[in-house]
């Protein structure tokens, strides 16, 4: 039986765009389960010719400082399959960053041939929260191709006794770009407040989070948007980080 409909109060949504959030996780998980099982977790090579080394797990207390707090967590609709969909050639990926001694995180995106598409060193300020990494529109960075599955890793570069930064705490995920002309038409005719619901109903995970996060940044006092975000994360098993703040965007990412 479906849960009650969750309404975005004070936002003029048409009846067709009202979202039953209880059905959204099912849509996300059903799409994720059509993909093969996740490959063993390895750190994508920084250079195409490098062999992908398997990383050690590393003791939690070497880098993470918050007691009884969540660890590094990818925001994905199914943490077993570890895949999310996007319609964007330049999508955003979200990861929960815990309290950590690491001053930098390294993001790497590779294609099906394990060639590096993009890498970015992200400065951290030690504040736990949800980090978003967007593949930028850049002549040197190829857009994601439709119907191709890409793998990504985000690793904390943790300081060691010797002063060497090691990527021994990391998470991985996969992302596939899909084409949906009907959805694109609906989005083009919708208001910004309606767009997250349209993506959610279509099972387009990354764009649901991206558009909703943008609305939250633009309307930080809107408690309905916050509740909407928390409900989506809770319903896909991410309740522990549903109330974590969105970390500030870094307009000038460092180069690894």
Least confident of 42-46, 122-126, 189-193: 42-46
- Range among 15-24, 51-60, 157-166, 185-194 rated most confident: 185-194
Asked whether residue 209 is domain-assigned, the answer is yes
Asked whether residue 233 is domain-assigned, the answer is yes
Q: Where residue 159 falls among pLDDT bands split at 50, 70, 90?
A: confident
pLDDT for 53 beyond 50: no
pLDDT for 77 beyond 80: yes
| Backbone phi, psi, residue 114, to 5° | 65, 25
Asked whether residue 219 is domain-assigned, the answer is yes
Q: Where residue 65 falls among pLDDT bands split at 50, 70, 90?
A: confident
In tens, the pLDDT along 224-243 reads 999 999 999 999 999 999 99
pLDDT for 90 beyond 60: yes
pTM here is 0.77
Asked whether residue 121 is domain-assigned, the answer is yes
Least confident of 156-165, 181-190, 228-237: 156-165
Q: What's the CATH code of the domain at 178?
A: 2.60.40.1930
Pairing of strands 104-110, 116-123: antiparallel
Give me the mean pLDDT over the 208-217 stretch. 96
Number of structural domains (the chain) is 1
| Contact present, 49 and 31 (Cβ < 8 Å) | no
Asked whether residue 12 is domain-assigned, the answer is no
Burial zone of 145 (CB within 10 Å; 0-12 exposed, 13-18 middle, 19+ buried): middle
Asked whether residue 182 is domain-assigned, the answer is yes
In tens, the pLDDT along 99-120 reads 998 889 999 999 999 999 999 9
Q: Where residue 79 falls among pLDDT bands split at 50, 70, 90?
A: confident
Pairing of strands 83-86, 165-177: parallel
pLDDT for 8 beyond 60: no
> What residues make up the domain containing 225?
73-241
Asked whether residue 204 is domain-assigned, the answer is yes
**CA 125 to centroid of chain Cα atoms:** 19
């Amino acid at each position: 039986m479906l849960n009650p409909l969750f309404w975005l109060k004070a936002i003029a949504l048409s009846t067709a765009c009202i979202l039953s959030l209880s059905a959204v996780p099912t849509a996300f998980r059903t799409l994720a389960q059509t993909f093969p099982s996740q490959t063993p977790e390895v750190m994508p090579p920084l250079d195409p010719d490098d062999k992908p080394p398997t990383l050690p797990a590393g003791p939690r207390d070497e880098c993470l400082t918050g007691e009884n707090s969540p660890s590094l967590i990818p925001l994905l609709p199914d943490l077993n399959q570890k895949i999310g969909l996007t319609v964007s050639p330049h999508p955003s990926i979200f990861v929960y960053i815990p309290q950590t001694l690491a001053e930098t995180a390294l993001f790497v995106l590779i294609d099906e041939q394990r060639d590096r598409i993009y890498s970015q060193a992200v400065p951290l300020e030690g504040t736990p929260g949800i980090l978003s990494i967007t593949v930028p529109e850049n002549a040197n960075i190829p857009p994601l191709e439709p119907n191709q599955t890409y793998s990504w890793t985000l690793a904390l570069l943790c300081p060691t006794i010797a002063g060497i930064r090691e990527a021994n705490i990391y998470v991985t995920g996969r992302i596939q770009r899909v084409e949906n002309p009907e959805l694109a038409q609906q989005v083009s005719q919708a208001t910004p407040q309606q767009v997250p619901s349209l993506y959610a109903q279509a099972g387009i995970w990354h764009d649901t989070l991206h558009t909703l996060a943008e609305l939250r940044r633009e309307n930080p006092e809107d408690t309905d948007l916050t509740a909407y975000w928390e409900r989506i994360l809770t319903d896909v098993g991410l309740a522990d980080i549903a109330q974590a703040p969105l970390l500030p965007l870094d307009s000038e990412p460092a180069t690894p």
